[in-house]
C-alpha cells in the first residue's frame, strides 16, 4: 500500500509547482496508474515516492511505514525504502551480466547461498532464466525490459514502481509486455504504481487511474468510469477520442436530461443539479448509422458523410450533421461512401455531461470507495 498525502514538489525556486499538493492511495495488491501528458508531474510523483527526489512538503507512506514526512522530518534515502523500480531507460548496467544485474539488490541483504536461487527464480518469473550469463548490452529491448522487471522484483519489495516501462518498445511488443506485467502483478499480488502517458496502456493495466494535469490529479477512478464518464472536458479529450458537443437549454425529462445542440435535440446523462448549458461527450464508437425508418427517434440526426478512411477493423468516418462534424467508427461491413446521406444515432445512455475545465475539479481520491463503488456497479 502506498499512501501519499499533500505531496508538494516545486522546481526553479518554487516557481514551478511540478506536483501540487496531491493525495492518493494505492490499495494493497492493486495497480494504480498516474496518467497524463509529459510534464504533468507524474514522474516527479513517482520519483518522490522512490526517494530519488526530495519533495517540498507532504507525506509518503510505503506499506504503512513513513518514508517521507515534512512534518516528522523523515526522509529515507532511496536505498532504505524497500521499493522495486523499473526505469524508462531500463537502466540495465551495461558492464554486468544479466545475473549480476538481477542479483544486485540482494547483495548484503540475502544470504549468499540463496542469492543465486532467488535471482534465477526472479528471472524465471520473466522467462529469462536461460539468459542469466549473457552480457547486458547483448539483449533486445524486450529482454532488457524483463531484466529490469526481474531486478525490481528480486528483493520482494513492498511496492513496485514502473516509470513508463513500455515506451521504448515497438507497438506489438508493448501489447505483449503489458499483458505479461499485468499477469505477473496479479499472481504476485504486489502493490504497483505505474506511470504512463499512454491512455490505452493505463486503461488496460490498472485497477485505478489517476489522471494528472499540471501537477494535480484531475480525475481518479476505475478505468471504465474514467473512460465512459470523465470528470471534465480536458480529461475526456485526453482519454480516447471524443466528440464534444455544446448543449443549451438543458431540462430534465423522465429522468433523462435533454437539451438543444447543433446536432439537434440531444438526450444525455449527467450528475448533480441540472445546468442551463454544458458540454456533452459522445465517444466515437457510440455513434452508429441507422436506417431512415428510425429518423424520428431520439438522438437520431440526418447527416452526410464527409470522409471515410478504411482502417481494417472499422471505417474512421467524419459525418457532417447540421454543420457539426461528428467523428465516428463505423463497422467495416457497413461501408459508408463519401457524400452519402445517412442517419446517425448516439444512444442517450452513452452520452455524458462534462464539467467545464475552469471549474475546480473536486476529485475524490479515496481508493477504497472507488473500488467499492465499481464492484457494486458491476
Task: Give the H/E segment covering residue 135.
Answer: none
Residue reference for cell 459522445: 282
Among 66, 93, 340, 350, binds another protein (CB under 8 A): 93
Least distance (Å) between residue 61 CB and another protein:
17
Of 139 and 242, nearer to another protein (C-beta) is 139
Q: How far apart are CA 59 and CA 49, in angstroms?
A: 9
Least distance (Å) between residue 278 CB and another protein:
39
Q: Taking CA 352 as the corner, what is the angle to CA 291 and CA 266, rounded to the nearest 5 degrees?
A: 45
| Site membership for another protein, residue 52 (CB under 8 A) | yes
| Site membership for another protein, residue 78 (CB under 8 A) | yes
Nearest to 152 by CA among 192, 116, 112: 192
| Site membership for another protein, residue 54 (CB under 8 A) | yes
Nearest to 259 by CA among 273, 278, 243: 278
Instruction: Kindly provide the b/e burial profile for residues 344-353, where b requires at least 16 CB atoms within 10 angstroms of the residue's own CB.
Output: bbbebebbbb
Binding mask 112-151 toward another protein (x if CB under 8 A, else -) reads -------------------------x-x----x---x--x
Q: How many residues are listed for the chain in this entry?
A: 378
Among 7, 32, 62, 155, binds another protein (CB under 8 A): 155
Residues near 316 by beta carbon (within 8 Å), at least 6 away in sequence: 308, 309, 327, 328, 329
| Site membership for another protein, residue 256 (CB under 8 A) | no
The piece of 79-87, 197-205, 334-342, 365-373 that touches another protein (CB under 8 A) is 79-87
The piece of 78-86, 184-192, 216-224, 322-330 that touches another protein (CB under 8 A) is 78-86
Least distance (Å) between residue 95 CB and another protein:
5
The piece of 47-55, 113-121, 218-226, 315-323 that touches another protein (CB under 8 A) is 47-55
Q: Taking CA 157 as the corner, what is the angle to CA 151 and CA 163, rounded to the nearest 5 degrees?
A: 60
| Site membership for another protein, residue 76 (CB under 8 A) | no
Among 8, 50, 169, 242, binds another protein (CB under 8 A): 50
Q: Please, which contacts does 368-377 make with residues 24 or more away whose CB atoms are closer than 8 Å? A: 368/25, 368/27, 370/208, 370/220, 370/221, 370/222, 370/225, 371/27, 371/30, 371/207, 371/208, 371/222, 374/221, 374/222, 374/224, 374/225
For 267, the grid coordinates are: 438526450
Q: Which of residues 2-21 bind another protein (CB under 8 A)?
A: 11, 18
| Site membership for another protein, residue 109 (CB under 8 A) | yes
Contacts to another protein by CB under 8 A: 11, 18, 44, 47, 50-54, 77-85, 87-89, 91, 93-95, 104-105, 108-109, 137, 139, 144, 148, 151-152, 155, 161
Amino acid at each position: 500500500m502506498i499512501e501519499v498525502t499533500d505531496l508538494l514538489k516545486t522546481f526553479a525556486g518554487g516557481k514551478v509547482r511540478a506536483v501540487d499538493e496531491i493525495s492518493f492511495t494505492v490499495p494493497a495488491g492493486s495497480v494504480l496508474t498516474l496518467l497524463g501528458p509529459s510534464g504533468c508531474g507524474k514522474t516527479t510523483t513517482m520519483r518522490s515516492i522512490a526517494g530519488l527526489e526530495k519533495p517540498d512538503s507532504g507525506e509518503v507512506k510505503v506499506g504503512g511505514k513513513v518514508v517521507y514526512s515534512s512534518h516528522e522530518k523523515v526522509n529515507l534515502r532511496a536505498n532504505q525504502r524497500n521499493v522495486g523500480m523499473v526505469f524508462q531507460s531500463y537502466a540495465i548496467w551495461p558492464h554486468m551480466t544479466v545475473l549480476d544485474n538481477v542479483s544486485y539488490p540482494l547483495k548484503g541483504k540475502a544470504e549468499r547461498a540463496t542469492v543465486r536461487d532467488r535471482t534465477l527464480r526472479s528471472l524465471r518469473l520473466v522467462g529469462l532464466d536461460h539468459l542469466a550469463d549473457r552480457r547486458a548490452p547483448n539483449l533486445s529491448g524486450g529482454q532488457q525490459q524483463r531484466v529490469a522487471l526481474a531486478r525490481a522484483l528480486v528483493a520482494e519489495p513492498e511496492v513496485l514502481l514502473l516509470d513508463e516501462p513500455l515506451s521504448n518498445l515497438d507497438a506489438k511488443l508493448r501489447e505483449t509486455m503489458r499483458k505479461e506485467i499485468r499477469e505477473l502483478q496479479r499472481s504476485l499480488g504486489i502493490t504497483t504504481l505505474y506511470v504512463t502517458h499512454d491512455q490505452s496502456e493505463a486503461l488496460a493495466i490498472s485497477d485505478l487511474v489517476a489522471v494528472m494535469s499540471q501537477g494535480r490529479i484531475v480525475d481518479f477512478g476505475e478505468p471504465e468510469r474514467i473512460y465512459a464518464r470523465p470528470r471534465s472536458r480536458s480529461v475526456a479529450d485526453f482519454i480516447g477520442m471524443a466528440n464534444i458537443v455544446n448543449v443549451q437549454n438543458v431540462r430534465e425529462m423522465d429522468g433523462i436530461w435533454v437539451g438543444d445542440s447543433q446536432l439537434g435535440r440531444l438526450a444525455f446523462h449527467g450528475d448533480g443539479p441540472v445546468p442551463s448549458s454544458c458540454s456533452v461527450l459522445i465517444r466515437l464508437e457510440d455513434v452508429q448509422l441507422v436506417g431512415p425508418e428510425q429518423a424520428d427517434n431520439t438522438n437520431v440526426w440526418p447527416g452526410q458523410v464527409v470522409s471515410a478512411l478504411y482502417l481494417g477493423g472499422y471505417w474512421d468516418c467524419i459525418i457532417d450533421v447540421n454543420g457539426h462534424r461528428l467523428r465516428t467508427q463505423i463497422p467495416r461491413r457497413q461501408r459508408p461512401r463519401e457524400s452519402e446521406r445517412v442517419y446517425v444515432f448516439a444512444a442517450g445512455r452513452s452520452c455524458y455531461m462534462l464539467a467545464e475545465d475552469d471549474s475546480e475539479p473536486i476529485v475524490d481520491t479515496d481508493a477504497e470507495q472507488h473500488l467499492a463503488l465499481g464492484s457494486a456497479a458491476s
